[in-house]
Chains A and B, each alone.
Chain A
Amino acid sequence: MASNTATVLQSFRKELLNASHAFGVPSTGSLRTAVRDVFAIALFRNSSGIGPANTSYTQVSASEVTSSGYTAGGNSCATTDPATSTNTGYWTPASVAAWTNVTMTGSNATDLALLYNSTCTAKLGVATFALGVIDTGQAPSAGTFTLTMPTNDGSTGLIRIT
């Protein structure tokens, strides 16, 4: 099986231009209704071959981890608004709830998190993030899996447009 890849999905660049995502509340007078989308983070098994050419959560959901304490689709991100710092736009979720009492061991270990738009029907993907070392990943056992976001600024924010 092919390794997973941490990357911005190629399709995300196009979908940004199509206004398919609203990380914050769209500006008054824009085509979209003034409601932000909900984004979620789902976890995927090692060596699922997920990478830049994938387009959505739905497309890769067969490779998602399974465990008691983990619901398919992952956990929603807490709301935050995009911001700018000079020439960089950035967005980082305030937090993602931890998964408790989960077991993701052996072939169910996870080395990749997918950020995707859970509001839109197509569950369009944004980017994938390595959970430590690719192909090794994380293997909680009857324990808690906690994912902590980076500092929300123009240098380290989760998604940055420079």
Chain B
Amino acid sequence: MTRTVNTIIGEIPESDLEFATLEKDSGDTLIMSREWKYKGADPALVEHVGQMVRRDCWVTMKTGISLAGSAEL
């Protein structure tokens, strides 16, 4: 059974897509995104070949925030 992926041009077989994963460390957060491009041969979608048709985002908080103060009262 062919697995499909939701994209801006509809449900596309995963085999018709390629993706690249980007990672960036922004200090307190680690950012990852996965961009999916269409590479299929469907004549109805030929205009989308090479286009980014889906982007997933992950934000990992490495540290939260502190209400800092003195530990000695």
Q: Whose C-beta in chain B lies nearest to the C-beta of A100?
A: B6
Q: A150 to chain B: which residues have CB within 8 Å?
A: 60-64
Partner of B57, one of A90, A130, A139, A159: A139
B29 and A132 within 8 A (CB): yes
What total of chain B residues lie within 8 Å of the partner, measured CB to CB? 30
Contact with A along B30-52 (1 / 0, CB 8 A): 01011010000000000000001
Main secondary structure of the interface of B (DSSP, over half): strand
What total of chain A residues lie within 8 Å of the partner, measured CB to CB? 37
Count, A-B residue pairs, CB within 8 A: 102
Q: B24 to chain A: which residues have CB within 8 Å?
A: 132
A148 within 8 A of B: yes
User: Assuming A140-B57, A143-B6, A159-B64, what are 13 further A-B pairs, CB within 8 angstroms?
Assistant: A7-B65, A127-B65, A138-B33, A139-B57, A141-B52, A142-B54, A142-B55, A143-B36, A144-B57, A145-B56, A145-B59, A148-B59, A160-B65
Chain A residues engaging chain B, CB cutoff 8 angstroms: 6-8, 13, 87-88, 90, 92, 101, 103, 127, 129-133, 138-150, 155-162
